[in-house]
Structure 1
Amino acid sequence: MANKLRILIADDHQLVIQGILCSLKEVGDFDVVTTNNCDTAFQLIKTSEKTTPFQILFTDLSFDNTTEDTKLDGGEELIKAIRNNEIDIKIGVITGHTETNRVYNVISNLNPNAYLLKSKCDAKEIGFAIQKMLASDFYYTHEIHQKIMRRNIVQIQMDDVAIQVLKELPNHAKIGNLEGVIKKNDGTVIKLRSIETKLANLRINLNANNNTDLILKAKELGIID
């Protein structure tokens, strides 16, 4: 008889854990362990690595129950610790965080095998994610996939001048005030007409109605803070 798949769940909300457990029961017969903090999660992974290793970790990103003694204060730190120790485990994020910049940074820097949203993490979704993870593939829930695709497309279209324009625009009452502020890498000042053209192209690329809308969408995509 084959050994059961071992899954560790790390989340500081018991209701969320219960929801994930219910979904997992619909998917299959797994050996599931739960914890409400990242320090314990890491210790469980480390101590069982040589004997009864976990194949999958599902973790939230934010934990509200941290203290002064907490070493790993969130899912990002937990994933980093696992990566730094070269532990062989598939990592899935189950979270409520949908901010494009945070999503993009987590996926780009930490490379989790899956990124799911708590609000849409039913048995079908988590089951499909597990299949992908075990096949050494990646699965991002549809909303997250769309955000990453859009961010990647926008990122390709961005250049240093575009970033300068987006960052400086909220600081000036008139577009004309940007002339002399926006410069090329070699220090050459960008003329007003070129700035206006850049803004027009940015509005098209980000599907913005006006410059105010442009800044909001740039922030939503995490292009500027």
Structure 2
Amino acid sequence: MEPKRMLIIDDHELTARGYGYLLENAALQNILPKFVIDYAQDTKSAYRQIMSKVKTSLVYDIVLLDINLPSYPEKKIFTGEDVGKLLRKVASKTKIIVQTALTDNHLLYNLFQSIDPDAIALKSEWNEEEFVRCIQNVLESVPYYSAAFSKLIRQQFSKPFILDNEDRELLYLLSIGVSSKEIPKYLPWSSSKVEKRKRILREKFGVEEKNLLSLLRAVKVAGFI
């Protein structure tokens, strides 16, 4: 059987090499197939590795992608998320495993929507056993989501309503301290529209109090921020 090709993108070299060691060890035990592994520590080297493979039609089978990476402004690639979007355009058959330290539900959900990764793992939850299981799932085209991300998805899809992207963005901005009066600087809304959306959101989340703190508390409990 031909070895699989993997690109590990992580700005911590020791972490990346550790993943490589786990893959080699699992291959020796016949738990996983053998991998030919390339490494990248920033978005620039990741871009070059990916595009060089695309030119030779030898695209990666799997890309293990960290999100917090040094940027490559010349190609408008600023984070690992942008690398994921690039992969979806130029190498649609490549499976993407996102491994991240992000714990912000809003950012995680946006990541899920923008890249549609084959797996999402939070670094704080990942150990050797889970790492190998994740690779196995992805090779078999079975999605893998860490416990925390699975909980987030269950929380959001168990609600009797769905928030659109505008509502999510409004709640996120409010949660990081942007005042209602400042929202029109970030969203193309009037002040009256901001207040109207806040009122509708209070109704959706069953919040009777009109203060912002009560709304944000309910939204956080529901897993949206």
Taking structure 2 as the reference length, the TM-score comes to: 0.70
1:64-96 superposed Cα distances (whole Å, 9 cap, x missing partner): x33654642211101111112244200010110
Asked if 1:218 is matched to 2:223, the reply is no
Is the Cα contact below 8 Å between 1:93 and 1:114 reproduced in 2? yes
Counterparts of 1:7-156 in structure 2 under 5 Å?
Answer: 7-28=6-27, 29-49=34-54, 50-63=56-69, 65-66=70-71, 69=74, 71-154=76-159, 156=161
- Give CA-to-partner distance per residue, 1:3-43, whole Å, 9 cap, x none: 11111101111232133223323322321111101232232
C-alpha displacement of 1:143: 0.9
Residues 179-217 of structure 1: CA deviation (Å, up to 9, x unaligned): xx9659xxxxx8xxx998x388348xxxxxx97454135
Alignment of 1:201 with 2:202, yes or no, is no
**Change in 2 beyond 3 A, CA 1:216/1:26:** farther
2: distance between equivalents of 1:51 and 1:110?
Answer: 22
Q: What residue ranges of structure 2 are gaps of 5+ in the alignment?
A: 28-33, 181-193
- State how far apart, in whole Å, the 2-side matches of 1:4 and 1:195 are: 51
**Residue identity matched to 1:19:** G
- Answer whether contact 1:101 1:223 (CA < 8 A) is retained: yes
User: Structure 1 108/158 Cα, relative in aligned 2: closer, same or farther at 3 Å?
Assistant: closer
Give the SS at the match of 2:206: helix
What CA deviation, in whole Å up to 9, does each residue of 1:37-61 have, x standing for no partner? 1232232222223354310000111
Structure label with greater radius of gyration: 1
**Equivalent residue, structure 2, for 1:178:** none
SS of alignment partner, residue 201 of structure 1: coil
Are the aligned partners of 1:55 and 1:89 in contact in 2 as well (CA < 8 Å)?
yes
Distance 1:56 1:201, change over 3 A: same
Identity of aligned residues (%): 25
Which digits, 9 at most, give the CA deviation of each residue in 1:151-186, with x for residues without a partner?
233472669xx99xx77xx86xxxxxxxxx9659xx
Say if 1:67 and 1:45 are closer, same or farther in 2 by CA, change over 3 A: closer
- The CA RMSD measured in Å over matched residues stands at 3.8
Are the equivalent residues in 2 in contact too, given 1:24–1:123 (CA < 8 A)? no
Partner amino acid, structure 1, of 2:121: L
